[in-house]
Amino acid sequence: MNLRRLLFHILLLTGIAVTFGCNKFLDILPSTQNINPTTVKDFQEMLNSDSLSKSQFFPLDLMSDDIRLTDAQYNIGDNFYRRTYLWEARTWDGGQIDFMYNYTYSRILQMNIILSRIDAAPDDSSNTVENRNNVISQALINRAWCYLQLVNAYGPAYDGATSDSDLGVPMVLRPDAYNLPSRATVAQIYNAIIADLLKALNNPYLKAKGADVIHPGKAGGYGLMARTLLYKQDYEGAKLYADSALSLVNTLFDLNAGFYTPGQVLDLARNPEVLLGRISTDVGFYAKYGTTFTISKSLLDSLGTADRRYSTRFYGEILNVNTTNQKQIVFDNSVSVSEMMLIKAECLARSGSFAEAGNLLTQLRLKRMASTAASNRTYTAGNILYYVIGERRRELCFRGGLRLFDMKRLNKDARFSKDILRKNSAGTVTLKTLSPGAAGYLVPFSPMVLAANPNIEQNPR
């Protein structure tokens, strides 16, 4: 067995062991420590792991226009965070693990194990039609979420003219230790995501919401499909699925009445907006700099101090951290009601329904600021899309790359394309510029990933 296959076998066993060894979201103890799951109950336990809702996509936010390193942070010198911030050719250190890639593929591996074995599960009390179908649906939705993150991190934005040749990420749909796949195209990845979600949602037993925020229900599946189709520029389809999600769950969290900063997965249960719970943490940035990051001037100007999304999340220009987790930065990366409202609003705006789109923005803003500030706009056919895109930035900043994904797709529209400038704290010196469509928008594969699978073609830098 060569080294690459050995690495894959280690990942296979580790991924399964982590699933059974980590904390469960619900108060359910595993009935077995078996790392060779075969029963429907085994698969339910795998899906009950809170590790499925955890990720680390902060580098994608660091690549966007929402963050600024202070002079003191910048002048500390060369490190992974500064290189990512500057979109440098060498991002990863030689022996550094790409935690975004490895963590996400380990979750895909777990879902592939479930999906490849579920049909052979023995007949027992847990193997009912309802349980089996719900296990399949939840595994498919989890896998779709992972691939949508990966293809938008490592591949270009979906473009109908080039997606059949644009390179995405390796597509692995079965747990095969001898398979070293090359990168699938962006179109192939999107087709697989959509196929997974369609199959998952075609399940009469799948409830509107799962047993908790980490278990996907129909609302979460509809929401993820709406996000996928928005990125695919299928605005009619995206509106349809956003509507479907909102028909099941449409409660907004009122920031005028209170706020909490999530410090762990359980905290997401306090937010009625969450359709599919995802949380992302980063410990390296805080360890390196002794503080959190500073938001960019353009995001600060966009928010304004009257917006509760500013006053509840930031202290001056610095991101607040949960007081119980001061050594790590925690982000809510969930699929949410507010995102569905913004997807629907964008689709309406693009079809010319500016009044209906504006009404959705007003509903959202009334839960984010004082009523006088929320209602002081006049929406027109000419300005509505600009307002929607602006609201997406304010609402979805630091959501695991959603702002970066927006910039990649909007850079293809002259009305929204822009350079990202890295400047010193005073704003007088430009340190680096990223132009629309530049290679710096793509995350490079780490040396360890390429060593494990030489069939992966590196992104240009």
Whether 2 shows a pLDDT value over 70: the answer reads no
Retrieve residue 298's tokens.
Answer: 């353009």
| Residue of 300, 402, 308, 305 whose CA lies nearest to 346 | 402
Asked which of 264-268, 315-319, 353-357 is least confident by mean pLDDT, the reply is 315-319
Q: How far apart are CA 304 and CA 156, in angstroms?
A: 31
Query: What is the pLDDT at residue 265?
Result: 84
Q: Name, in order, each residue with C-beta under 8 angstroms of 360's C-beta and a sequence gap of 6 or more.
A: 341, 342, 344, 345, 348
DSSP character at residue 166: S
Q: How far apart are CA 317 and CA 274, in angstroms?
A: 26
251 domain residue, yes or no: yes
Query: What is the pLDDT at residue 291?
Result: 87
What pLDDT band is residue 26 in, cutting at 50, 70 and 90?
very low
- Kindly report the average pLDDT of the chain as a whole number: 90
The single-letter code of the amino acid at 90 is R
CA dihedral 17, 21, 25, 31 (to 10 degrees): 90
- Domain with 388, as residue range(s), is 3-452
Q: How far apart are CA 400 and CA 339, in angstroms?
A: 13
Query: What is the pLDDT at residue 156?
Result: 98
| Residue of 3, 426, 419, 380 whose CA lies nearest to 177 | 3
Whether 37 shows a pLDDT value over 90: the answer reads yes
Q: How far apart are CA 379 and CA 357, in angstroms?
A: 9
Query: What is the pLDDT at residue 263?
Result: 79
pLDDT in tens, 154-175: 999 999 999 999 999 999 999 9
80 domain residue, yes or no: yes
Structural domain count of the chain: 1
What pLDDT band is residue 20 in, cutting at 50, 70 and 90?
very low
Q: How far apart are CA 419 and CA 422, in angstroms?
A: 10
| Residue of 200, 240, 241, 199 whose CA lies nearest to 223 | 241
pLDDT in tens, 265-315: 888 888 999 999 999 889 899 889 988 899 999 999 999 888 999 988 887
Query: What is the pLDDT at residue 229?
Result: 98
Query: What is the pLDDT at residue 324?
Result: 56
Arithmetic mean of pLDDT, 335-358:
98
461 domain residue, yes or no: no
**Sheet (strand 329-332) strand order:** 54-55, 279-282, 329-332
Question: For the stretch 179-216, what's the b/e string if a residue is b when 16 or more beta carbons lie within 10 angstroms of its beta carbon?
Answer: ebeebbbbbebbebbbebbeebbebeebeebbebbbbb
Query: What is the pLDDT at residue 325?
Result: 56
Query: What is the pLDDT at residue 446?
Result: 97
Judge whether 299 and 397 are in contact, CB under 8 Å. yes
Arithmetic mean of pLDDT, 51-73:
94
Query: What is the pLDDT at residue 266?
Result: 82
Query: What element of type H or E holds 279?
Result: strand 279-282
Query: What is the pLDDT at residue 326?
Result: 60
Retrieve residue 391's tokens.
Answer: 């609201």
Pick the residue with more confidence: 29 or 85? 85
Retrieve residue 460's tokens.
Answer: 């240009």
| Residue of 294, 333, 301, 299 whose CA lies nearest to 60 | 333
Q: How far apart are CA 373 and CA 115, in angstroms?
A: 49
pLDDT in tens, 211-264: 999 999 999 999 999 999 999 999 999 999 999 999 999 999 999 998 777 878
Whether 5 shows a pLDDT value over 60: the answer reads no
| Residue of 99, 97, 98, 110 whose CA lies nearest to 15 | 110
What pLDDT band is residue 138 in, cutting at 50, 70 and 90?
very high
Query: What is the pLDDT at residue 76?
Result: 95
149 domain residue, yes or no: yes
Query: What is the pLDDT at residue 126?
Result: 96
Q: How far apart are CA 117 and CA 39, in angstroms?
A: 9
Query: Which phi-psi region, left, alpha or beta, contains residue 152 (left: φ > 0; alpha: ψ -120 to 50)?
Result: alpha
108 domain residue, yes or no: yes
Whether 62 shows a pLDDT value over 60: the answer reads yes
Q: Domain containing 384 — which CATH number?
A: 1.25.40.390
460 domain residue, yes or no: no
330, β-bridge pairs: 281
Q: Tokens 């990512």 appear where?
A: 84
Query: What is the pLDDT at residue 203?
Result: 98
Judge whether 104 and 146 are in contact, CB under 8 Å. yes
9 domain residue, yes or no: yes
Asked which of 9-13, 254-258, 335-339, 363-367 is least confident by mean pLDDT, the reply is 9-13
pLDDT in tens, 371-412: 888 888 999 999 999 999 999 999 999 999 999 999 999 999
458 domain residue, yes or no: no
